[in-house]
Structure 1
């Protein structure tokens, strides 16, 4: 099935592209969530007519993502966790814990955009990546401290 992507979708394509996807993926995921439209001649014409407005919105989103990334990279984030004597945590630091700590600092970040490359299971400084936009990532230093 041919669809027009409304948003950037990982491993599928970027907004505005016409892609061929399976019927089930389109009907069960893309169309109900508003991530794509069927690629009919009417929808293609409508998409082209609204292209300029979307480009302006995309530039604004990119600029706001860059400013947010600069703010996030300057934040010193501390996450408390229970740990043993050797600095091993009882459990691990999750994306939800990082998002909650950021919320405490005044930043509302969706936990799904936070990427922890390796499980955080020790005390100390660790690096976390936050995907704010398809072109903008913020690298954040997270200090895990004993509570």
Structure 2
């Protein structure tokens, strides 16, 4: 479905594309920011929007689509990208840090944020959480983060220099 395409489209209010964009935004919001009980409470309203979209599809001869299910599936795929990114960062870092420095890698020692906004995914790397030191280990870990981001087509932003 390519959710991000619908989230940032400009369409006349009440049109098919406008309603679809609203549905995508609402489901993303509820999935990411609201406990499951809140999502369940909002579901009847979301189902009404889905029904409007299905009626539009029917009026032009298209088959029935389960919009909510499609959107939820794509959001799950986005979450899996972040999980895979973090799993690769931890796996690579454990191996390389242990090999080079004979130490265990602890991800919680490092500050970083993974973000998605307007179809752009990026990871901002800040360095050590508890100290403002730039040492050889930090540079190696930063290079690992940068490499894994590149593998996953995610922009890497180095904020250790600021």
Relative to the length of structure 1, the TM-score reads 0.29
Identify the structure with the greater strand proportion: 1
Taking CA–CA contacts closer than 8 Å with sequence separation of 6 or more, which of the two structures ends up with the larger relative contact order? Answer: 1
Higher helix share: 2
TM-score by length of 2: 0.27
